[in-house]
Structure 1
Amino acid sequence: MADTPERFVVHESGAWFHGTKADLQVGDHLTPGYRSNYRPEHVSNHIYLTKVLDGAVLAAEMARGDGPSRVYIVEPQGPVEDDPNVTDKKFPGNPTHSYRTDKPVTVVGEMTDWVPHSPEYLQRFRDGLEVLKREDRAVLYD
């Protein structure tokens, strides 16, 4: 699914998703102020979420940590805005349905019925991130 246009399809449930390796429970709150999965030296000012299951799966697979990749269904506790890291630079108009909030989000469930990306796809994604870092183009708008 990751290499096809369907990767930007909003999940039929309309739910918000957050991908991570953190072991969370229903009722837990995710809050800003923790290290970024993409720039570990950076403490994030936002929680990132999406309406696209595949995007949350990718975020979970790319997350730091040794635990299993997990995709949680979440409810934002405040306003959300387009994620400028994706929408302004890579996909104008937000076809990825990538968002962020500087308010907490509450875990309301866990999505367990998802297909992981291939190791080859994940390596291509990591390689792309490394190229951006080497070329000083790995800007994080947070």
Structure 2
Amino acid sequence: MMEPRPFEVHASGSLLHGTKADLVPGDLLVPGHASNFEAGRTANHVYVTATLDAATWGAELAAGQGRGRIYLVEPVGALEDDPNVTDRKYPGNPTRSYRTREAVRVVDELVGWVGHSPAQLQARRDGLADLQRRGLAVIDD
């Protein structure tokens, strides 16, 4: 399998959620838990995407121990564009990234996905660390 390609909608047409949490079908992801991406912060939204690339970044960069996981999910309520991606980086939402204040149900785990190269992953981590150092790692949640 190849590395995920940016902006390419996953072949299943499903929404995806990348994390390190060990979940099973039927589990609900709900806001109000520790953020996957900022220590000491409570997430007010659950984030989902239609692209394998964005879900892979979520799985690889999420806080916690263990391996990254990607789940096929279905929202219980309304979605909105994720302003952290769509407004700041990719106008028009080509990453098909969304968030919700309501629950998201795990439908299945996506297995056999391929992560980004070690060089890409390190470059992304270095970039995020630089934003943090400069006080620019702001999450609109």
Fold similarity call, TM over 0.5: yes
Task: Give the 3-state SS of the residue equivalent to 1:141 in structure 2.
Answer: coil
Give the aligned partner of residue 132 of structure 2.
Answer: 133
Q: Deviations over 1:47-91 (max 9, x none)?
A: 000000121111001111111111000000000010001110111
Equivalent runs, 1:97-116 vs 2, <5 Å: 97-116=96-115
**Partner amino acid, structure 2, of 1:34:** H
Give the aligned partner of residue 94 of structure 2.
Answer: 95
| C-alpha displacement of 1:112 | 0.4
Task: Give the 3-state SS of the residue equivalent to 2:73 in structure 1.
Answer: strand
**Partner amino acid, structure 2, of 1:127:** D
| C-alpha displacement of 1:12 | 1.9
* Greater than 3 Å deviation, 4+ residue runs: none
CA distance in 2, matches of 1:95, 1:28: 28
Q: Deviations over 1:32-51 (max 9, x none)?
A: 01111211111000000000
| C-alpha displacement of 1:25 | 0.6
**Partner amino acid, structure 1, of 2:13:** G
**Partner amino acid, structure 2, of 1:59:** G
| C-alpha displacement of 1:113 | 2.4
Task: Give the 3-state SS of the residue equivalent to 1:7 in structure 2.
Answer: coil
Equivalent runs, 1:1-142 vs 2, <5 Å: 1=3, 6-142=5-141
**Partner amino acid, structure 2, of 1:94:** N
| C-alpha displacement of 1:105 | 0.4
Give the aligned length.
139
**Partner amino acid, structure 2, of 1:116:** G
TM-score (norm 1): 0.94
CA distance in 2, matches of 1:96, 1:54: 8
Identity of aligned residues (%): 54
Task: Give the 3-state SS of the residue equivalent to 2:105 in structure 1.
Answer: strand
CA distance in 2, matches of 1:138, 1:64: 15
CA distance in 2, matches of 1:107, 1:138: 29
The unaligned stretches of length 5 or more in structure 1 are none
CA distance in 1, matches of 2:89, 2:6: 15
CA distance in 1, matches of 2:80, 2:43: 15
